[in-house]
Structure 1
Amino acid sequence: MSATLKLDALPEFAKEYCYEVDGWIMPKFTPKRFLDDLKNFEVKGDDTYLITWPKSGTTWMQNILTLIFANGDIDAVRKKHLFKRVPFLEMPKGFDYKKAEDDTGLYEIARNVPSPRLLKTQLPPPFLPTQIHEKKPKIVYVARNPKDAAVSYFHFCNVSTNLPQYRDWNDFFIDFCNDSIPRGSWFENVLYWWNKRDESNVFFITYEEMKQDLRGSVVRVCDFLGKELSDDIIDVITENSTFNAMKKDPTANPDSLPFFKEAVKLKRSFLRKGEVGDWKNHFTVAQNIIFDDLYRGKTNGSGMNFTFEL
């Protein structure tokens, strides 16, 4: 699909929430001025960036990282909600897309966060701060198999009032395959970081690896960050980073935030299932064939393989 036609091809209800820039569909809660400012955002060599495509384990890894940074001090991290602990660079302070253009971007607040900073972004590669490539901060990149990531994003569109309110999975599936949902192509995002996985400042891990061995994943992240923590502290971080533990913890579960109050009333949750393989409850046989062909074509020769069920 031609880049200039992506926005035009979206369903009418989706256009309200999005705009197009340089061939990428972006959510209006990240206005163009944020993107322009973020290109020039000052990166520090001792920063740690958590980068993902949406609904790929961002909140999960965010919880792990904040606990690692706090040396497992649960009481210390629980003084702030998880979303307050780590600036989400391209989000407006008020989390309201209708007011984002006039709001403060969280990147503006992040400028004054004391070092070493832990920062989060889901910006597509072309919109990342230029200095990321020069200063080479530590980057933790979490990727999730695209089928489950797509299904999770579909449901999240009915949790966040900042996103197109997709009610029909088939509509979402079409736009996902056309790279026309907010923040654009899963393939371009994940493959970009997959190709950088051997760089010394990049740690690439999958959602599925975390599901298979959470404690081992915590240890690997610690090793990457150069954090030497005791086995007891590793156990504490692991126990407090399971899906069930985060679901029960109001300081780790986004459902407790006022922004998601209406979704909670409708019995929709930010932390929905946390499973591998839920895509099988959504993809039709025909959709699965279409997507498998797309996946093979996009990833051919990359060596990238994902686990699609456990």
Structure 2
Amino acid sequence: MAGGYFQHGGVSFPAILYSPRSLEAAREFPVEDDDVFNVTYQKSGTVWMLEILSLIRSDGDPHWCRSVPNWDRGPWLETVLGLRRAKANPRPRLISSHLPIQLFPKAFFSSKAKVIYTVRNPKDVLVSLFHFSRIFRPYKDPGTLEQFLHKFLQGDVPFGSWFEHVRGWLGLRGAHNFLCISYEELQQDLRGCVERLCGFLGRELSAAALDAVVANASFAAMSRNRMSNFSLSPLFILDLRRGPFLRKGISGDWKNHLTPEQSARFDRVYRERMAGLGVTFPWDPPPDPPEGETTLGTPPEEEEEEETPPRPQEPPQP
């Protein structure tokens, strides 16, 4: 263990909230067929999606969201306290997780439980995680943005590489109990996304209930809700004197932080690491690099789309 982090399955975790024993217990977590997992790479809309799912569960009535902290409504499976809460919560359960697929509960892959995977522009994830690391005490100080950019692209951050996390989970696309949705889609058409989520969950809401979900899941509503904005979090976990947990809730903020050179460097790594995935994201960089630069990764004409699995298959162990 160094600097408060430890390695588990090749991935770094901060020791304050996580332990090898809790991660092993999460791997053996007894999954029920009616469980709904809210899965993301960190800073990709986890709290927002949890709020949406909580409101869908309560037919748009905000009382549950305003009376129970979100970490109790949809506990983080991999934390010591979250694992205990997830086991104790009544069914049907909402459960949140940042775990990469190879560390996820084994029982999920033979169950009917559902995973909703929210993915976000990794440049915005980078910037959000940089600011978050300055207020989240279990994490190391991020240093300068340039230093943190290097670590992020190397996967030398808690929960490991964004690229590996996304590639791993998107291997389940097409499975009957897996839904991928982007942060950007939620921003562009929240009501349409709520309807899509309801269809996936098999939950029919009235027009009035849909309106209530959309209204109460707005960034402004969440920012005012003490059960959702982490203002109740103890100081040894979050130092909110250095900034709010819910910072901006926008897309494209990376443009206010990254230089053109940093953005181009990120794009080169992105093209290389995401080549051959067979998925197009709204933030994908142009396929050809600027003149004078060498193309990295597999050329588009040589890419092969992976076969869509009919159901989730457990990935090989690291």
Q: Could you state the TM-score of these two structures normalised by the residue count of structure 2?
A: 0.84
Shift of residue 34, structure 1, vs aligned partner: 1.1
Encode CA deviations 1:212-262: one digit per residue, 9 max, x unaligned.
111111111111101100011100110111111111222221134334886
Paired residues in the alignment total: 283
> Per-residue displacement from partner, 1:81-114 (whole Å, max 9, x unpaired)?
2222111111233xxxxxxxxxxxx212322222
Partner residue of 1:192? Answer: 168
| Paired position in structure 2 for 1:242 | 218
Match for residue 167 of structure 1 among 132, 136, 143: 143
Match of 1:286 in 2: 261
Matched, 1:42 2:46: no
Q: d(CA) in 1 for partners of 2:23 and 2:240?
A: 31
Relative to structure 1, the CA distance from residue 136 to residue 17 in structure 2 (aligned partners, 3 Å threshold; closer, same or farther) is farther
Does 1:148 pair with 2:135? no
What residue in structure 2 maps to residue 85 of structure 1? 73
Q: Distance in 2 between matches of 1:44 and 1:22?
A: 25
Q: CA RMSD in A?
A: 1.8
Task: Give deviations 1:115-157, integer Å, cap 9, x for gaps.
Answer: 1111111111121111111113111110001110111011100
- Establish whether residue 23 from structure 1 lines up as the match of residue 15 from structure 2: no
% identity of equivalent residues: 37
User: Gaps (5+ residues) in structure 1?
Assistant: 1-6, 8-14, 94-105
Rounded to whole Å, the distance in 2 between the matches of 1:276 and 1:215 is 18
Take 2:100 and 2:227, find their aligned partners in 1: how far apart are those partners?
28
Q: Secondary structure at the match of 1:78?
A: helix
Instruction: Note if 1:180 corresponds to 2:156.
Output: yes
Cα distance per residue 1:260-285 (max 9 Å; x no partner): 8863223x011001111111122222
* SS in structure 1 of the partner of residue 80 of structure 2: coil
2:53 aligns with: 65
Quick one: distance in 1 between partners of 2:171 and 2:141? 33
User: C-alpha deviations, 1:182-239, integer Å up to 9, x for none?
Assistant: 0001111111222212111001000000011111111111111011000111001101
1:214 aligns with 2:214: no
Runs of 4+ in 1 over 6 A off after TM superposition: none
CA distance in 2 between partners of 1:65 and 1:148 (Å): 23
User: 1:134, 1:261 → 2: CA distance?
Assistant: 35
Aligned to 1:273: 248
**Residues 50 and 139, structure 1, Cα contact 8 Å, conserved in 2:** yes
Q: Determine the C-alpha separation between the residues in 2 that align with 1:166 and 1:151.
A: 11
Q: Give the residue type in structure 1 aligned to 2:51.
A: N
Which of 34, 37, 41 is the aligned partner of 1:53? 41
d(CA) in 1 for partners of 2:129 and 2:65?
27
Q: 303, 306, 310: which one pairs with 2:278?
A: 303
Change (3 A) 1:261 1:175: closer
Q: How has the CA–CA distance of structure 1 residues 261 and 183 changed in structure 2, closer, same or farther, with 3 Å as cutoff?
A: closer
Question: What secondary structure does 2:208 align onto?
Answer: helix
Partner residue of 1:202?
Answer: 178
CA distance, structure 2, for counterparts of residue 149 and residue 206 of structure 1: 12
The Cα of 1:64 is off from its aligned counterpart by 0.4
Cα distance change on mapping 1:262 and 1:83 into 2, 3 Å = closer
Q: Of the candidates 86, 108, 129, which is equivalent to residue 132 of structure 1?
A: 108
8 Å contact 1:20–1:26 — kept in the other structure?
yes
SS at match of 1:269: coil
SS in 1 for 2:249: coil
Q: Name 1:107's counterpart in structure 2.
A: 83
Question: What secondary structure, in the 3-state scheme, does the structure 1 residue paired with 2:180 have?
Answer: strand
* Displacement of 1:308: 3.4
SS at match of 2:279: coil
